[in-house]
């Protein structure tokens, strides 16, 4: 949705009700996306497009070439790789969320949780130390994915102090969080 807002297409998106859950899958989603995962977009004739990266690229393709979230020069694969890194942070955080909230407490696997959180932490380190010039240069698809991953950490892991070890990333996130595309897509509890 952040991409849709950035490209001026948010008003054209109809949000459908869904209840994605890793244990009891939502048949409304599975009917269009066999994995049962969100996001899943339905386009012409209810054809599905799923995975955030694919949906963002699709949304971007609907708007004018000017202002594209995906550079068409040598930076394109840098932005795509940054988008993938941010998605990997989000994927690991989601697995931690499942482990801590959905798994019965007596089966909680501390090593699994720690291993996934190490992926989050190493991804944050990479954003701060290796990718920061690219993130802060423009609000492209990779920067959007990074901002959304950080927003998810704040939403679901409010007690995780990722900011103190990543001051540049924290400053940047504070700034981009004020963008209308970000404020209008904040998750609700």
* 96 found inside a domain: yes
Phi, psi of 42 (to 5 degrees): -110, 125
What is the domain-level CATH number for residue 138? 1.20.1050.10
Tokens of 73: 């020069």
Closest by CA position to 163, among listed 171, 186, 155: 171
pTM here is: 0.94
pLDDT at 189 over 80: no
Buried b / exposed e over 47-60, threshold 16 CB at 10 Å, is: eebbbbbebbbebb
Q: Domain check: are 90 and 167 in the same one? A: yes
Q: Domain check: are 51 and 100 in the same one? A: no
Q: Into how many domains does the chain fold?
A: 2
Q: Domain check: are 94 and 133 in the same one? A: yes
Residue with tokens 């996001």: 39
pLDDT at 21: 80
Q: Domain check: are 54 and 93 in the same one? A: no
Q: Is the dihedral of CA 97, 103, 104, 106 positive or negative?
A: negative
Q: Domain check: are 30 and 113 in the same one? A: no
Q: Domain check: are 58 and 80 in the same one? A: no
Residue 88 belongs to what domain range? 76-183
- The per-residue pLDDT for range 66-125, each reduced to its tens digit, is 999 999 999 999 999 999 999 999 999 999 999 999 999 999 999 999 999 999 999 999
Percentage, residues of the chain above pLDDT 90: 80
Q: Domain check: are 119 and 152 in the same one? A: yes
* 160 found inside a domain: yes
* 188 found inside a domain: no
> CA 36, 38, 42 angle in degrees (round to 5)?
90
* 189 found inside a domain: no
What is the domain-level CATH number for residue 50? 3.40.30.10
- The per-residue pLDDT for range 42-82, each reduced to its tens digit, is 998 889 999 999 999 999 999 998 999 999 999 999 999 99
């Amino acid at each position: 949705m952040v991409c849709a807002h950035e490209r001026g297409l948010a008003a054209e998106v109809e949000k459908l009700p869904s209840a994605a859950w890793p244990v009891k899958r939502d048949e409304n989603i599975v009917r269009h996306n066999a994995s049962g995962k969100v996001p899943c977009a339905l386009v012409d004739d209810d054809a599905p497009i799923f995975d955030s990266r694919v949906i963002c690229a699709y949304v971007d393709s609907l708007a004018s070439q000017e202002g594209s979230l995906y550079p068409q020069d040598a930076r394109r694969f840098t932005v795509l790789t940054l988008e993938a890194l941010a998605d990997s942070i989000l994927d690991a955080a989601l697995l931690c969320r499942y482990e801590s909230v959905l798994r019965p407490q007596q089966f909680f696997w501390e090593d699994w949780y720690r291993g996934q959180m190490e992926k989050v932490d190493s991804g944050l380190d990479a954003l701060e130390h290796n990718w920061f010039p690219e993130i802060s240069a423009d609000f492209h698809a990779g920067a959007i994915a990074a901002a959304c991953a950080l927003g998810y950490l704040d939403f679901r892991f409010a007690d995780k102090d990722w900011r103190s070890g990543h001051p540049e990333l924290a400053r940047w996130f504070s700034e981009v969080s004020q963008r209308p595309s970000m404020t209008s897509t904040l998750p609700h509890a």
